[in-house]
Amino acid sequence: MKKTIAFVLLLISFAAQAQTTSVTTGAARTKDYLPLLQGKRVALLVNQTATIGQTHLVDSLLKLKVKITKIFSPEHGFRGNADAGEKVGDSKDAATGLPIVSLYGKHRKADAADLKDVDVLIFDIQDVGTRFYTYISSLQELMESAADNNKLLIVLDRPNPNGHYVDGPVLDTAFRSFVGMQPIPVVHGMTVGEYAQMLNGEGWLNNGQRCELKVITCTGYTHNTMYKLPVKPSPNLPNMQSIYLYPGTCFFEGTPLSLGRGTDKPFQVYGHPDLPKNLYQFTPRSVPGAKNPPLLNKLCYGYDLSAVKPAAKLDLQPVLKAYQLFPKKDQFFTKFFNTLAGNSALQAQIKAGKSEAEIRKSWEPALSKFKSIRKKYLLYKDFE
């Protein structure tokens, strides 16, 4: 048995090294966390990004004789192909027969019944480093479940593709939601492992509780590493350009405009039928991962950012430009805009015609405070 496990570990190591990057993810460092799983009943909160080389983490651990009792799934589901916000129910994994419990929708937090046959929890999901990308909210609620039920939580860390800067408005806690649970900026510059330590250390979990936490770090990663994701993290972030643009273009989710869902350039184009007709044209269609996108089958006019070199900052220009061009100013913002922004100030600033420089200056006091807190929890060399 020991020889078999050693051989499987060797194969996993080779698979991890075969990736095009010099970074080794926490998941690939099986020797560092396998002892914590031996003789334990294990549940994992994972999706399609939880891989070691080309193999899913669940399959790797089963080969290593780890006793997995169930899988928890986040937004977009275990296989990562559900639309944003789409209801994902409980099911069974066809490949392994393991039960899948959805932790998205009304049942977002694992309860005592879910954990009665679990000794250890594992979190392994690729994040993209923005406050409104819901996987860090799922992480917090899993940490609270672990604390409530006295379970060890192991976070298998992965690089943050937007981890090379910190930017954007810091959330006003009056605007807490599942797309923003803590007073952090839109771009927080932390891996999920670092953020988990912050949640614990700052007493941000429910009732100030602390979770028994073990972070398996990456090797070969710093906050200056421009890491190319081997698996797309969700249906509408298909490439690195979409991931780099996402912190700024996601604000269009709080407007009547399309940000390219239903095209081959989601989060890389934006537009509306009422913008000037001499601009870039596209038409959202019903496609897997965007079955009913905004402005479905309507010809939109706007801008294509797919070839623009992204800067290490949250780019407000697309939203500012769209507001200037949109003819019905009183209909530009939906209620969701303030939820995404994490405040009411940004909308007011845009309506008042403030420049990007003026808006960015207003972020500085809260950003400086956050940066000083952030440094306490970093596990990797910073970009500064």
- Using one digit for the tens of pLDDT, what is the confidence trace for 303-356? 999 999 999 999 999 999 999 999 999 999 999 999 999 999 999 999 999 999
Residue 19: what pLDDT? Answer: 42
Inter-residue contact 197 to 377 (CB < 8 Å)? yes
What average pLDDT does the segment 259-286 reach?
98
pLDDT tens readout for residues 279-301: 999 999 999 989 999 999 999 99
Paired strand residues for 114: none
Residues facing residue 212 across a β-bridge: 152
Residue identified by tokens 């509408």 is: 236
Q: Going by DSSP bridges, is the β-strand pair 99-102/41-46 parallel, antiparallel, or unpaired?
A: unpaired
Express each pLDDT in 148-190 by its tens digit. Answer: 999 999 999 999 999 999 999 999 999 999 999 999 999 999 9
Q: Which pLDDT belongs to residue 105? A: 80
In the DSSP assignment, the letter for residue 24 is B
- Considering the chain, what percentage of its residues have pLDDT values greater than 70? 91
Burial class (CB in 10 A: 0-12, 13-18, 19+), 324: exposed
Q: How confident is the model at residue 10 (pLDDT cuts 50, 70, 90)?
A: very low
**What are the boundaries of each domain within the chain?**
21-229, 240-343
Q: What is the pLDDT of residues 113-143, one digit of tens each?
A: 999 999 999 999 999 999 999 999 999 999 9
pLDDT of residue 96: 87
> Cβ distance 283 to 298 under 8 Å?
yes
Euclidean distance between CA atoms 185 and 172, whole angstroms: 10
The token duo for 41 is: 């009943």
Q: What is the sign of the dihedral through the CA atoms of 361, 367, 369 and 371?
A: negative
* 3-state secondary structure labels for all residues of the chain: CHHHHHHHHHHHHHHHHCCCCCCECCCCCHHHHHHHHCCCEEEEEECCCCEECCEEHHHHHHHCCCEEEEEEECCCCCCCCCCCCCCCCCEECCCCCCEEEECCCCCCCCCHHHHCCCCEEEEECCCCCECCCCHHHHHHHHHHHHHHCCCEEEEECCCCCCCCCCEEEECCHHHCECCECCCCEEECCCCHHHHHHHHHHCCCCHHHCCCEEEEECCECCCCCCCCCCCCCCCCCCCCHHHHHHHHHHHHHHHCCCECCCCCCCCCCEEEECCCCCCCEEECCCCECCECCCCCCCCCEEEEECCCCCCCCCCCCHHHHHHHHHCCCHHHCCCHHHHHHHCCCHHHHHHHCCCCHHHHHHHHHHHHHHHHHHHHHHCCCCCCC
Q: What is the CATH number of domain 21-229?
A: 3.40.50.12170
Q: Would you say residue 15 has pLDDT above 50? A: no
Give kind and range of the element (H or E) at residue 43: strand 41-46
User: What's the confidence (pLDDT) of residue 49?
Assistant: 95
Contacts of 8 (CB under 8 A, 6+ apart): 60, 63, 64
